[in-house]
Structure 1
Amino acid sequence: MNHTMLRRGKSAALSVLACVLVAPTVYAWTPPAAAPISSPTKTAPKPLLWKVSDSDNSIYLLGSFHLLKADDYPLSTDVDKAFADAEKVVFEVPPAELGDPSLGQKMQQMAGFSDGRSLSKVLPADVRAKMEQAIGAERLAQLDAIEPWYINLGLLIGVSQQMGFQADQGVDMHLARRAVAANKPVSGLETASQQLQVLDASPMEEQIAGLRDFFDNPAEVPKLLADTHEAWRDGDVDRLNALVIDEVRKETPVTYRIINVERNDAWVPQLRQMLDGPSKDDTLVVVGAMHLLGKDGVVEKLRAKGYRVERICSACDK
């Protein structure tokens, strides 16, 4: 696998493991059909689930994959038990905001250039030529007012849908529905507007790199998404670190810092308040899996603060 393919795969994996707003993206372009990736009859995914405790209560941290398939369910009984034990459920963004009909319009507004530039002005000639060949000059012209980060998300949605992934099957959406049915309070660690600002803050050169990588060889993207999905289903922390975090941190360091590190740092005080505050309720926290992994993840950040941390994965010992 060459260097370019690695970065392209990491860009896609970063989205499905880091930002829940990948789900409502409106624009989607589907590349030429790739051979379907078959899978055997599936068992429940091995969860990326940790229990963090102090003297009087606990929070469960569950790593989500934001786009999944119907046959990724049911989830592990470990997740069911954590859900049953929790008095409330917290997501990246409050579920009600994800269901806001105006969210797609807000995303499109945020995706527009605010400094007088346009896609045709910022794209290098080679990227523009490859995009025109793939989607046509007319469609490319229609995208001229849209920043590359939003197009990258749309491309990811197009590929994912072709592979059978759906936003309404993501772990976040699934557990939000269950929480409402069980009358459990739900909330978010940040607002949809804050997450939009994060997506929009990626440096232009790193946004363009994502488009270049995609159009260099779009047929490779389904395989790389499938690898990430498989690693998530296997609960394979080491493989996910290698597939996503290590390369993204090295090749698009500013985007990695903005999307992962800075948000984790903003969430840790909120998570600590759930443990240290007066409430003795237990809480299930569901965020993109990337936010839990590695030295920058909230799991290690909370461990460093002295809390008891244990991974919960009964199938991992089998």
Structure 2
Amino acid sequence: MPFLLAACGTAEPAPSARPAMWLVADADTRIYLLGTMHALPRGTSWDQGKVAGAIGAADELVMELTPAELAAAGDEFRKLAPRTAPLAIDARLRGAALANYRALEDDGSDFGGDALDDWAVMVLMGQRAAQRADLSPAAGVENGLTEKFQAAGKPIAGLETARTQLMLFETLDAPTQRALLIRAAEGADDAAAEVAALTAAWRRGDVAALEAMINEDIDAVPAARRAIITDRNRRWSAWAKQRMAAPGTVLMAVGAGHLVGADGVPAMLAADGLTVTRVQ
């Protein structure tokens, strides 16, 4: 999954970005919906234009995870990732998929995959792909927003906890986990290029390209799409709809894949009769 990536930076200056953003508004409430990338090339400038205005106007920031929950994610991963009994990666992957997995391991430390659940191996492979693409979570949108809102003394809330987020993967049935792992391994040799293309589409605010790439990535495993994308979007849309009952201005920043397409948060809110306008 492109949205669970952590990595190193790049020495080259990164282009500026104009990510897609929507506004849900009524007489006394405004919720800006900003699509984020959790990791970016160092030096990426994304907080200009309408985004700068939304940051300045917002009374509070709402993200997938609060800073404290994000800091807890590593410990939660280590608790949930181990298998009850080891199973060799060679018994899970074959042919090009296994070769690609080994090639990713050769780029850094051993994943220790034999002792881990399929979903956890997939997450580690995604992180290694991000390293290949020269992405850094320190340059990601959430990290930048956190710094700005903390400096301004504005509150930061979260839609999920680190544990509930990881449990989305942990509770997938075994065949779905295996399908995700095999698909990730089969595409691992192209993963860095695909992540770079996804980042470029996000930078342009090209929601059609984002939707096409994300759909191709996850539609092959419908149970995963339902758990990781659609069901969460429903919960977040319900939260936003309820929040519209109170006055104020909120910046809601979540992974860009959750804001595009017919089951994206903006589309769900519009279908519920709210006024949703793309503002960048």
AA aligned opposite 2:68: A
Change (3 A) 1:142 1:156: closer
Please state whether the residue corresponding to 2:38 is helix, strand or coil: coil
Report the CA distance between 1:188 and its aligned residue. 0.4
Please state whether the residue corresponding to 1:93 is helix, strand or coil: coil
Change (3 A) 1:258 1:234: same
- Residue 310 in 1 paired to residue 259 in 2? no
Alignment root-mean-square deviation, CA? 2.8
250, 254, 265: which one aligns with 2:219: 250
Task: Give 5+ residue unaligned stretches, structure 2.
Answer: none
Match of 1:15 in 2: 2
Report the CA distance between 1:131 and its aligned residue. 6.2
Whole-angstrom distance in 2 between the partners of 1:222 and 1:128 = 16
Task: Give 5+ residue unaligned stretches, structure 1.
Answer: 1-13, 31-36, 314-318
Alignment of 1:129-278 (within 5 A): 129-130=98-99, 133-134=102-103, 135=105, 142-216=112-186, 218-245=188-215, 247-276=216-245
Report the CA distance between 1:39 and its aligned residue. 8.2
AA aligned opposite 1:197: M
Question: Deviating runs (4+, > 6 A) in structure 1?
Answer: 37-41
Contact conserved, 1:47 with 1:76, CA < 8 A, in 2?
A: no
Whole-angstrom distance in 2 between the partners of 1:192 and 1:267 = 16
Change (3 A) 1:41 1:267: closer
Percentage of identical aligned residues: 29
Change (3 A) 1:41 1:169: closer
Count matched residues.
276
Whole-angstrom distance in 2 between the partners of 1:131 and 1:240 = 25
Contact conserved, 1:62 with 1:289, CA < 8 A, in 2?
A: yes
Contact conserved, 2:61 with 2:252, CA < 8 A, in 1?
A: yes
283, 286, 289: which one aligns with 2:256: 289
- Residue 56 in 1 paired to residue 56 in 2? no
- Residue 123 in 1 paired to residue 78 in 2? no
Contact conserved, 1:67 with 1:168, CA < 8 A, in 2?
A: yes
Report the CA distance between 1:147 and its aligned residue. 1.2
Contact conserved, 1:274 with 1:283, CA < 8 A, in 2?
A: no
Whole-angstrom distance in 2 between the partners of 1:191 and 1:145 = 25
Whole-angstrom distance in 1 between the partners of 2:12 and 2:202 = 15
**TM-score, with normalisation over the residues of structure 2?**
0.87
AA aligned opposite 1:123: R
- Deviation per residue, 1:218-265 (Å, 9 max, x gap): 3322211111111000100111111112x2453011111100011111
